[in-house]
Structure 1
Amino acid sequence: MKFSPALQPATLIKRYKRFLADIELPDGSVTTIHCANTGAMTGCAEPGNRVWYSTSDNPKRKYPCSWELSETAAGHTICVNTAQANRLVVEAINKGIVTELTGYSSLRTEVKYGSENSRIDVLLQDESKPDCYIEVKSVTLLQDGRGYFPDAVTTRGQKHLRELKEIAESGKRAILFFAILHSGIENVSAAHHIDPDYFSLIREAERAGVEILCYKAVLTQEELYLGHCIKFNR
């Protein structure tokens, strides 16, 4: 996925009210941008970090600029716009990059499913095989050299695991897809120290047949794309 127009650099002053951040532009002026990431953003939003933002030409937007990338003091690049994760996964599936998910003739997004009234991020279908339900999660938390999900307690994520488990038990294919949006992460674990209930549910889901895929993104100021599969630590 290429950025058009190109991303612009700035310095982060602070993130606040979950959806907003103040940044200092290269000319010294200050502006407010939209932050699509509602999570804790641990390690991704330190004041003074260099950030990169996109600009929308939609006249209805109150804040036309969106926070896309952060550069940490350690030199890592992080995509903080979690809305990009689904786009990257769909693009990678369509291009055949995710070899585990090839051979389907139909791809749909945001399809209603499950006993708890959710929407699956991606649904793959083909007459020759069972339907494949894919729940996408973005991973940006790096601690002690390891990537973790989630970065905060997530009742929504717990619900998604229960519904994926039901899908797998029904004989269909269920995928938990971790999109790694942090250049420093080389392996991923469920964050038992942050959300023990999620940790327990992911183990139950795997025992029921839910598959876990982890693909790391290549992150630059020009483009984003999923590159290669990395290890999930059980």
Structure 2
Amino acid sequence: MDKKITIAIDGFSSTGKSTVAKQLAKELGYVYVDTGAMYRAVTLYVMRHLFVTETNFDVEAILRHLPFISLKFIFDEKLGYGEIYLNKENVEKEIRLMEVSRNVSRVATISKVREMLVKQQQEMGKNKGVVMDGRDIGTVVFPDADLKLFMTASTQTRAERRYKELCGRGNEVEFNEVLENVKERDYLDSTREDSPLIKAKDAIEIDNSELTLEEQFEKVVKLARDKIAEKD
């Protein structure tokens, strides 16, 4: 029987981390955890309470409400992975809206928010057999992960992917708005003081600007199976 490993997938926004992580978890029979969805759910909560608006960013109010935020992934057999629930409400679709994307990197800079979510993420992955994607999985959440991948792609490519995704969901957005959002998130994610987005020294970088989903998946599956074989 194969020994289970911990797989950490980090990278910039819209590099397809979640897509390949879901595919990989399904292929291996592992648990998939989308940490970005957790930060988005917290962001949605504080936006609903108007703690984060275009003119307001009330960190004290956000911190006061952290005890009232309950996050849970509930497995959906039809999808083959878990969707995020915020206080028992499925918010998987709502957290993907452009309004949430505009604010999630700001909320993620709050150290207490990161501390709360990192603890939850470490608990989810303590038994191994997990594929987790985000910004700081291989550097902070699981610095001893058996396999670390770092996904990247050109800014233009990522903006085009995000634009198509949003349009496909029926959202009315301008491409330039999406492009600027990608650039802004890159800057905020990479320059924040607490757990900035950086490539772990032992991570394998995958630039998927020119790769098809199939090519990317084949590459990632081989890396995972090779690492599992090393453990046997």
TM above 0.5 = no
TM-score (norm 2): 0.26
More strand by share: 1
Higher-RCO chain (CA-CA 8 Å, sequence separation at least 6):
2
Radius of gyration: which is bigger? 1
More helix by share: 2
